[in-house]
Amino acid sequence: MKNASACWSTEVREQNWCDVVVESLQSPESTSAELLGNADSPPGLVNILRSRFDNFIKVSEVEGSIVNLNQATEIVASRLKENDILFANCVTAFVGGKRGFVQDGDGGVVCRVSESSGWLRLEIPVDGARIAYMVAPVP
Q: What are 65-105's pLDDT values in tens digits?
A: 667 778 888 999 999 999 999 999 999 999 899 999 999 99
Share of the chain above pLDDT 70, in %: 81
Greatest alpha-carbon pair distance for the chain in Å reads 39
Greater model confidence, 87 or 138: 87
Give the distance from CA 62 to its chain's centroid.
20
Please compute the mean of the pLDDT values over residues 106-127 and round it to a whole number: 94
pTM here is 0.84
d(CA 11, CA 30): 26
Return the bridge partners of 113, or none: 120
Q: Tell me, rounded to whole angstroms, the distance of Cα 1 from its chain centroid.
A: 17
Q: How far apart are CA 82 and CA 87, in angstroms?
A: 10
